[in-house]
Amino acid sequence: MPSRAAALVLLALAACGVAPAGGGEADSQTVEPLLTVPERTGYRRTSTAAEVHDFLVRLDAFGDPRFFLTAFGESSDGRPLDLVVVADPPVRRAAEAHRGTRPVVLVMANIHGGEVEGKEAVQELLRAVVTDEADPWPVGDAVVLFVPVYNPAGNDALGPKNRPLQHGPSLAGRRVNARGLDLNRDWMKLEAPETRSLVGLLQEWDPHVVLDLHTTNGSAHGYELTYAGVLHPGAHPELRDLLDHDWLPALRRRMLERHGLHVFDYGNFLSPEGEFEDDPDLLGGWRTFDHRPRFGNNYVGLRNRIAILSEAYAYLAFPERIAATRAFVTEVLRLAAERGSDVPAACRRWDAETERWGGAGELVQPLSAELVERGREPVRIRGFRTETDPATGETWRIASGPVTEVELPVQVGFRAVEEALAPPTYWLAPELAAVVAPVLAGHGVAFRWLDAPQTVEAVTFRVVETHREPLPFQGHFERSATFDLGLREVTLPAGTLELSLAQPLARLAFQLVDPRAEDGLRHWNWYDRWLMAGPDAELPLYAAPLPEH
C-alpha cells in the first residue's frame, strides 16, 4: 500500500466527517489505512461481502467524480448487489454511457463464492483510481462497470473445504448461491435472483465487453492464469474470430511483455494427474471446457457481445493470484480502450446483421457441437508440492519446481456438428407461452401477443424420442428429445406468443426456444408437460417455414 494512498484516505475521511472503520475513536493515530482484507491480514483472509461494501463506501468518500457506487439488483439472500461505474468523463446512468462511441466494459468477480481473488483485485484497482495511483485513469474514455461480489451468499459461506487443494486462504466461500444454484449454469434458465439482476444489467447498461473472473480447480499447469473467449459456434463468426485471432493473442503477448506472466487458453490435461513426470506423452492433450450457453462467456457471445473468462491458477499463492488477475483485468481494459469506437461499432454491426439474417431465415445456428483441434502447441507444465494448512489441517497444493514445455494437441474451440437455419418466426400457443414469456422477457428477447386468431402455414414438431436424466442437476432432470418436422395449416388462437427473429437477440432466442437447441428451454424442462405425452405428441409450438432462396 503506497503511503500516499494512506495519507489521502485519512484526508478524505477527515473531510467527509466519516468515522474510521472498525473503531469509535476518530483519533488520526487509530485510523486504519485503506487496505483490503488480504493486505491487512497478511493474505490469511479474504473479504466478506460486507467488508467489500465497506471498502467501496470508503472509496466513494473520496468524492472522485469518476467513481460512482450504486447497486443493480438483489442476491438470493436479499442483499443489494454493488455496482461501481468508473468513467472519465463521469457516468451516472446507462444512457450516458452510450452517448458517443465509448466502449463499455463489465468486470464481474466472485460468481463462484470460493474463487476469491477477482474481488480483491477489483478492490485494488478501484483504490488505484481514487488515490490517483492510476492517474490519469489508464483506460481512456472507456466506461467500466465493476461488480466486485456477484455472489455474496456464496462468498460469505466461508469454510475450510470449499476449495479443495487451493493454495489459500484457509477459509473460502462456497460455489453456489443461497439457494444452492451455480450461477454459471443459470444463464439460460434465469432461476437465480443474481442472474436475473445481472441479465437486467446487461440490458440496461449493454456492456460491449464482459470479463468474468474465476479460479481453476483442475490440472497442474505452468500458467499464472488461463482464459477463454466465446466457445459457442452460434455466436457471430466475426466476434469469435476477433477474440480468437486478435484480442486473446494480444492479451497473451501483453501479459508476458508487461507483467512477465504466462497466460494461455483455459484447459485441462487429458490424462490423470501426475503421470506426466515419467512420460509427457501421457498427458494426451490440452482441452477446454464447454460451448453451451449455460456458461456466461458463451451466453454473452450469443448476445453479440465480447466475453472473456479469466481463471487464476488455484495452486499459486493467494497474493500471486490477485496480482495475476489484476494484471489481466488491466490489460483487458487497456485493450478495450485502445480499440475505442471500433468496439461499439462492431457490436452494432453484429446486432444489425443478426437482426437481418434472423428475419430473413438466413441465420445459421448449431444444434450440437464438437471440439476442434487448433494444432500441436507447446503447453507449459509445472509440478507442485503439498503442504498442510496449519490453520485447518487441509491440504494445499503449491505450484513449485521447474517449468517444462511439451507439445500437445490443443483443443480450445468448438465447431457445429448439426446446423439449422433459424426459422424467421415462432408461434407459441397460449398454454406454452404462459410459462415461456417470463424467461424471454427476463433475457430482453422481444415478442408480441396475437390479439386475434390467425391461420398460418407452419412447421410442426412431433416427438420421436425423449429422455429425462435420472439424476437431478441444478434442480432439474435434464431433458433431451428428437422431433419429426412437419408442415401444415395451423390456426393460432388469440393470446399466441409471436416471436420474430428479426431482432439483435435472434441467436439467443433460437437457442432458448427452438426445441432442437441443445441448452434451451426444452433441456431445462419447460416443454416437459408436452414431451411427457410421449412419442407422436406435437408441441404447441410452431415455426414459420424458411423462405425459398
Of the pair 109, 347, the CB lying nearest Zn ion is at: 109
d(CA 118, CA 262): 18
The angle, 0 to 180 degrees and rounded to 10, between the axes of the packed helices 506-513 and 342-360 is 50
Residue closer to Zn ion (CB basis): 128 or 332: 332
Choices 49-57, 104-112, 286-294, 384-392 (CB under 5 A): range interacting with Zn ion: 104-112
- Provide, rounded to whole angstroms, the least separation between the CB of residue 222 and Zn ion: 20
CB closer to Zn ion, 116 vs 171: 116
Do residues 169 and 212 make contact, with C-beta atoms less than 8 angstroms apart? Answer: no
| Residue 58 vs 112, nearer CB to Zn ion | 112
In whole angstroms, the minimum distance from the beta carbon of 208 to Zn ion comes to: 23
Binding of residue 214 to Zn ion (CB under 5 A): yes
Closer Cβ to Zn ion, 217 or 525, answer by number: 217
Report if residue 479 touches Zn ion, rule: CB under 5 A: no
Interface stretch with Zn ion, choices 105-113, 256-264, 291-299, 540-548 (CB under 5 A): 105-113
Shortest approach of Zn ion to residue 175 CB, angstroms? 7
Q: How far apart are CA 201 and CA 74, in angstroms?
A: 12
CB of 109 to Zn ion, least distance (A): 10
Nearer to Zn ion by Cβ, of 85 and 108: the residue is: 108
Peptide bond into 136 cis (omega under 30): yes
The DSSP symbol for 18 reads: P
Residue with the three cell numbers 477489483 = 122
Closest approach of Zn ion to the CB of residue 182, in Å: 9
Taking the least distance from each CB to Zn ion, the nearer of 296 and 515 is 296
Supply the minimum distance, in Å, between the C-beta of residue 309 and Zn ion.
9
Contact stretch for Zn ion (CB under 5 A) within 148-156, 207-215, 260-268, 431-439: 207-215
Site for Zn ion in 394-413 (CB under 5 A): none
> Using CA atoms, how far apart are residues 196 and 260, in angstroms rounded to an integer?
38
Whether residue 69 contacts residue 57, with contact meaning beta carbons closer than 8 Å, is answered with yes
- The dihedral through the CA atoms of 199, 216, 375, 209 has a sign that is positive
Handedness of CA 299, 302, 304, 306 (dihedral sign): positive
- Phi and psi of 143, rounded to 5°? -100, 120
Q: How many CA atoms lie within 13 A of 343 on its CB side?
A: 30
Shortest Å distance, C-beta 411 to Zn ion:
20
Q: Rounded to an integer, what distance in angstroms lies between the CA atom of residue 493 and that of residue 34?
A: 63
Q: Are 292 and 232 in contact (CB under 8 A)?
A: yes
Return the residue of 112, 305, 321, 339 that touches Zn ion, per CB under 5 A: 112
Query: Which residues on neighbouring strands pair with residue 425, listed in sequence order?
Result: 500
Specify whether the CB–CB gap between 379 and 406 falls below 8 A: yes
Per rule CB under 5 A, is residue 236 in the interface with Zn ion?
A: no
Shortest CB 112 distance to Zn ion, Å: 4
Stretch that binds Zn ion, among 12-20, 214-222, 354-362, 404-412 (CB under 5 A): 214-222
Helix (H) or strand (E) holding 130: helix 117-130
Number of residues that bind Zn ion (CB under 5 A): 3
In the complex, least distance from residue 225 CB atom to Zn ion, rounded to whole angstroms: 13
Q: Which of residues 114-133 bind Zn ion (CB under 5 A)?
A: 115
Q: Which CB sits closer to Zn ion, 218 or 495?
A: 218
Of 308, 325, 110, the C-alpha closest to 228 is 308
Smaller CB separation from Zn ion, 60 or 115: 115
What is the rounded CA–CA span in Å between residue 509 and residue 521? 10
CB 221, min distance to Zn ion, A: 16
What letter represents residue 364's amino acid?
V
Interface with Zn ion (CB under 5 A): 112, 115, 214
